[in-house]
Chains A and B, each alone.
Chain A
Amino acid sequence: MAVTYSSTRRGVAVLAGLLLLSLGSVATSQFEEQAEQFFRSGHTNNWAVLVCTSRFWFNYRHVANTLSVYRSVKRLGIPDSHIVLMLADDMACNPRNPKPATVFSHKNMELNVYGDDVEVDYRSYEVTVENFLRVLTGRIPPSTPRSKRLLSDDRSNILIYMTGHGGNGFLKFQDSEEITNIELADAFEQMWQKRRYNELLFIIDTCQGASMYERFYSPNIMALASSQVGEDSLSHQPDPAIGVHLMDRYTFYVLEFLEEINPASQTNMNDLFQVCPKSLCVSTPGHRTDLFQRDPKNVLITDFFGSVRKVEITTETISLQPDLGVLESRYSS
């Protein structure tokens, strides 16, 4: 480091000239970079919390809904360690299931969404409002295993999918308790205060689902619902062999939409908003984007449903000596 004092003035003039020149080019490249970054979300990891809140055999379709989303999310790259799957009842091994160890989502048993590697984190009676809120806010007892925690940070994009029976302002859990939209909004606010998410996508498939996202007030949340207040979400297909309805309409069409997506696709959220129009769904799906900073047409589906990592080529190496000696002394403090 040579710091000259005498030739400073000349040096400063040259430096200033160079700076002005480079500033010009830096400014334009910075602008381009900024423009590109404006469309990117800035997240480094993805999480998904998928919740099915109903039990009993006739609510088969809710478990199938959740497992379909689980399957898509895994196919697009989010690993099991980053998915918290909560299923309130066991349909695959239910005594009334004529095809044990399967959960089908298509008529005529085309698609078994309960594959070989389903990892359910909260099962049966563990799916309660309290556990769900604990997962979201992170206030978990210290003995909880890692697979049951949402270990997101300030650069995580989280997908939250909920399905079950709901009403105006509440969602029923396990036929015995309910979560209100105010509690949900407060939970998201606590997540925001602790910076537990970068962006959040909330999808709900219940009756009067839009009431659940009415009360959100934290930033960076985008919400989709299968029906407006006062409307019911209808189920899709009954299967005569299994004897129950297999899926709900909204999630069925969302699953069809997601099957077209691969990890490299550039489809954006505006396309997801168009899924399941009233002619197919009978109810009117709704969405809410006012809390979200980016324009939905710049948000890729894979920003939430997939897990595309940001990578950089390693260009530098640290030079090491094959033997100890010099290196060790440099590190000792």
Chain B
Amino acid sequence: QVEQVKLLDRFSTSNKSLTGTLYLTATHLLFIDSSQRETWILHHHIAAVEKLPLTTSGCPLVIQCKNFRIVHFVVPRERDCHDVYNSLLQLSRTAKYEELYAFSYNPKQNESEQAKGWQLIDLSEEYKRMGVPNAYWQLSDANRDYKICETYPRELYVPRTASKPIIVGSSKFRSKGRFPVLSYYHKNKEAAICRCSQPLSGFSARCLEDEHMLQAISKANPSNRYMYVMDTRPKLNAMANRAAGKGYENEDNYSNIRFQFVGIENIHVMRSSLQKLLEVSGTRGLSVNDFLSGLENSGWLRHIKAVLDAAVFLVKAIAVESASVLVHCSDGWDRTSQVCSLGALLLDSYYRTIKGFMVLIEKDWISFGHKFSDRCCQLDGDPKEISPVFTQFLESVWNLTEQFPQAFEYNEAFLLQIHEHVHSCQFGNFLGNCQKEREELKLKEKTYSLWPFLLAEQKKYLNPLYNPDFSPELTLLEPNTVSFNFKFWRNMYHQFDRSMHPRQSVFNLIMNLSEQNKQLEEDIKELEAKIKQRTGQSDAVLVKEHQQSAHPAPVALKSPPCFKKEQPPTPGNDAVRTIEGSNTADNRYSELVSEFSKAEPAVVSLEYGVARMTC
């Protein structure tokens, strides 16, 4: 505990600050300012801590979080600052999975609730929903014991004609044993999205089993025997891989394939791109041109566009040509996950519902072995493995929700909350790098699943404009990917910089209204029932009436909250989504509402400062 600590506003030039007390708990860093407002920061969210040179007012400490919050403290005594700094360094770097928050987090659920929570998402149900197994596709038990591929799930769907030797042979010819398997099956078109890793083709190597495997996939599609093989890497990268004995499919060796590069950059490029983006957006007193050129130089939006363009290409092959598509990159767990999941999202409206989106993440990201632990740096590990691949996926989805405001059951807050928890290590879902590792960690017994918690508070994540009729089953979304459609996602990268947000949020207002409408509908029913009851009562049953007179009180009591609701829903409460890693009660809804009422954003006080200085 350190007292008299100042919290500086990140973008203000007037050096306004809040003074308060800093507490370190086992899991959180807590700052309570003089007006008792609390800021909770989960240790796992801390990406970097930096001590700046001593100033006259004390020792500045800057904490960068994985959810893009940046806090700037000034600690009066250097000693304290040093202590806090060291503690945070230690606390934010975890060496073992068992030390992660998820293993100590206790939401007061009993075991059966815990187990039920984990059963909420059932992938074999999901494959059934898609229509497999069927005449062409079957469940393979080849990987039941993780013998063929450690990073794949146990249950894999493959073409019926792909025998075990073909599977084994093909897996030996694929990087990390990640052979082609089914990711999504389109019932109406009878076409499939399959995924794998790069072939170990080098300059000339070939593998008959792998060729048979691809042929089996193309034959499993009765509508079109041509299939696409999408290498999501830039051609140059794929060619460079050949020198290392890896590479891409030679069109001459495989019959009936069309090969296509789509040019999404690798994890290292993405990491440094995000780094650049954050540097730009974090600049104080940024000019419009510096912002735009910084945005351009970071390449971030170019990458988002590349990911979405790839998904659009995939979807066209399936929807227009009824052709199956095999997607891969290098290891088939980053770009491949992005493209397969976005493709499925564009093809199938189920994934645009809250439950469906959870299923999609469980399927294409968690079960197929996107390395969440490495990419999100859950444990202290190789910084070169960190990459915002999943963040890009969420951002692509966000772009789609902007273009199709009525197509998604969930809202932006849902995406932000998932992003929050991918890094929070509070729930077991995203821990580890693959299913095998998760089983070894006994996550299902020792930790809780995120999804039931999100479902329990799904009111917050509902899109009030969602129209299920907008997209009946299997309605294709055709996004416009002209550059000007892609926008900087302010609510992600400046989620905690309230001064940059619109002061009143249309979205929340509509959300409140539609919530209120439901309540009103119920009130009407209730009132109508009461009136009916009243009018139905003949004077003869006055006695009964008499007994009831003890009850009207609650009715009378009930109306005031309703009346209260009729007042304009408080604007500016986009706080619904601001949840600080910790338990759901931590959202600072009420505080932000009061903050708004002051209506004094920091950015203007910047100008205010200018006016002062000129005096």
Partners in one complex: no
Interface positions of A (Cβ within 8 A of B): none
